[in-house]
Structure 1
């Protein structure tokens, strides 16, 4: 049987995944239809809008189906099955994407492309909206230092042997002897590496630029800078929410908060979901919904056929492109250039460091 803790996490996650997949076509740039670059999309708006609406319906039906299954199976199966629900949900949602991607490719192949001349960009844009000050990068560290100081002040009151892990029913099932390592395992040995990793990603994001394959290069460059700045601030916010979750977990371990309230650790994490959705809906991928007062006539002749560089519209592989991090073609955020060897190295570090730290924590217990 699933506990309330599991259900309170799985249900919002299943709904969020379904909603996010359903509205991705509305978040991506208008000329990128289901991962296909289609410069003449304006001539086929009714057809494209029809595909987008059907995509929403199919994805929401899949999400509701998985939600009902989760509620039904919660009575009969173990919590391990619950972990598989969000992962399993992504599979049919991705198949829906490929269905409409195929329809878009057929539509594109049936028409030709036109060329227009480019014009200059004219609009006032506040530079502060395209930059991230040092204070933003410092905020998670300030929060973490405050949490650690609270832990240091409370350290004498922590018993010599205390619970460090709790079952799904909120009852402790693992204990540790009091030490600097055991008391601050979350706030120091987990939070610090996590913050370093997220700030490293933020730094890389802030240096990411839009590709030169765009019909509106000046406008897209300005929008991309604003998008990067917003994304960095979003990551800072997510980092601070995760740190708050680790702090709440530490308070339960230190017996400041009763273990019967263990479900409160899910509240900060759940807050991330609507935050991400708001960001995607208000910014649009690569910031195409930002700075609407910018004016630049599309130059379709400046856009080359680059669909072949995106496997399935999802995986970017271009040996001639030196960039490591590039904006996603379908979705919101960034992806790696998988033809760049440094991308693989960074990916190994991102995956390997958490696994290594987890193994070390287990061995040192």
Structure 2
């Protein structure tokens, strides 16, 4: 089972990493802003093609090697899991290495050809776009929070029937593989960690909802479609993932109180179903957002371009702009959001709940 899980995750990472150049904002190539007039440049197309082919071929080699290694001898679950995790990180490292190489090449190409020369930078706004925003309302996130608080109360009410050893970790098969002595704190430790995650998700949702909607001066309609799609589908994905995490961790918590609900294949099916739900949801999100701005507009003003914000992006990956009030902005490589690291509120939203979660986990 461990092999199936890690193989599916690795395959998913490989597919997403291979397709990324064709899913990002069309005027951003390997983290570099390219004026609309030059996005069909032959060299740019070549860079995208070479990146995708390189990542795809190496991914195939890695996946086949992993499969052969597992089937060649009987392997222990922990060996398969550890190797699978190493392979996932290796694949991400390889794709980032290729990305940084082509980021430098694209940046050099832009400078050598003086693409920004004789083009007037412009910024546009649409006062009506907020009314078209279809992000989920924040109060929906109160539902899983309330259910988790209720679960903690229920656990404490049934404290006497809890086992003397409380599970603290579950393996890929759904079996508990780490335990701690029963106390009032350890009994609700899992739910407390879940509550911190829920609060973090709520903070991320509110911050993204308040973040600015950036439109393109040269492709207004396409950029509007992408921004609205990004906001709508990211809010749905975030909420669906949160519901999945809540149901999964609540199931483990209830299984501690009522072990009979974990009998048979249920404890195996539920974690696997959560994995499939997240992967399918992420894939749908990437496709919906990634393809939302790919229809070329018929009229592009020849002498204008969008504001060039390359100086605020370190390596095209990390955004530092103290003049931008947005807490989250659209990624330049990948589909989704990234922090404005110059805005301390974003760090608070992420780091405070995460720190509390880690402290709870190690207590």
TM-score normalised by structure 1 residue count: 0.77
Residue 50 of structure 1: how far off its partner (Å): 3.7
For 1:36, the equivalent position in structure 2 comes to 32
Q: Provide the rounded CA distance (Å) in 1 between the counterparts of 2:4 and 2:199.
A: 29
For 1:96, the equivalent position in structure 2 comes to 98
Q: Provide the rounded CA distance (Å) in 2 between the counterparts of 1:110 and 1:86.
A: 37
Which deviates more from structure 2 when the two are superposed, residues 346-355 or residues 17-26? 346-355
CA contact (8 A) 2:289 2:335 kept: no
CA contact (8 A) 1:119 1:296 kept: no
Paired residues in the alignment total 350
Q: How has the CA–CA distance of structure 1 residues 343 and 168 changed in structure 2, closer, same or farther, with 3 Å as cutoff?
A: closer
| Structure 1 residue 140 corresponds to structure 2 residue 136 | no
For 2:268, the equivalent position in structure 1 comes to 263
CA contact (8 A) 2:215 2:224 kept: no
| Structure 1 residue 279 corresponds to structure 2 residue 285 | yes
For 2:10, the equivalent position in structure 1 comes to 14
Residue 356 of structure 1: how far off its partner (Å): 1.4
Residue 235 of structure 1: how far off its partner (Å): 0.6
CA contact (8 A) 1:25 1:52 kept: yes
The RMSD of aligned alpha carbons is 4.0
* Structure 2: segments with no counterpart, 5+ residues: none
* Structure 1: segments with no counterpart, 5+ residues: 361-365
Q: Provide the rounded CA distance (Å) in 1 between the counterparts of 2:322 and 2:82.
A: 41
Q: Provide the rounded CA distance (Å) in 2 between the counterparts of 1:345 and 1:141.
A: 19
CA contact (8 A) 1:117 1:298 kept: no
CA contact (8 A) 2:119 2:303 kept: yes
Deviation string, structure 1 residues 146-188 (Cα, Å, up to 9, x no partner): 86688689x48945435625566766555556665444433x3
CA contact (8 A) 1:33 1:104 kept: yes
Which deviates more from structure 2 when the two are superposed, residues 45-54 or residues 140-149? 140-149
Equivalent residue of 2:192, what SS? coil
Residue 237 of structure 1: how far off its partner (Å): 0.8
TM-score normalised by structure 2 residue count: 0.78
Which deviates more from structure 2 when the two are superposed, residues 58-67 or residues 220-229? 220-229
Residue 28 of structure 1: how far off its partner (Å): 1.2
Q: Provide the rounded CA distance (Å) in 2 between the counterparts of 1:341 and 1:121.
A: 25
Equivalent residue of 1:196, what SS? helix
| Structure 1 residue 195 corresponds to structure 2 residue 193 | no
Where do 1:209-248 residues align within 5 Å?
209-211=212-214, 214-216=217-219, 220=223, 223-248=226-251
Q: Provide the rounded CA distance (Å) in 2 between the counterparts of 1:152 and 1:240.
A: 23
Q: How has the CA–CA distance of structure 1 residues 251 and 319 changed in structure 2, closer, same or farther, with 3 Å as cutoff?
A: closer
Residue 27 of structure 1: how far off its partner (Å): 1.4
Q: Provide the rounded CA distance (Å) in 2 between the counterparts of 1:126 and 1:294.
A: 22
CA contact (8 A) 1:115 1:301 kept: yes
Q: How has the CA–CA distance of structure 1 residues 48 and 216 changed in structure 2, closer, same or farther, with 3 Å as cutoff?
A: same
Q: How has the CA–CA distance of structure 1 residues 217 and 98 changed in structure 2, closer, same or farther, with 3 Å as cutoff?
A: same
Equivalent residue of 1:326, what SS? strand
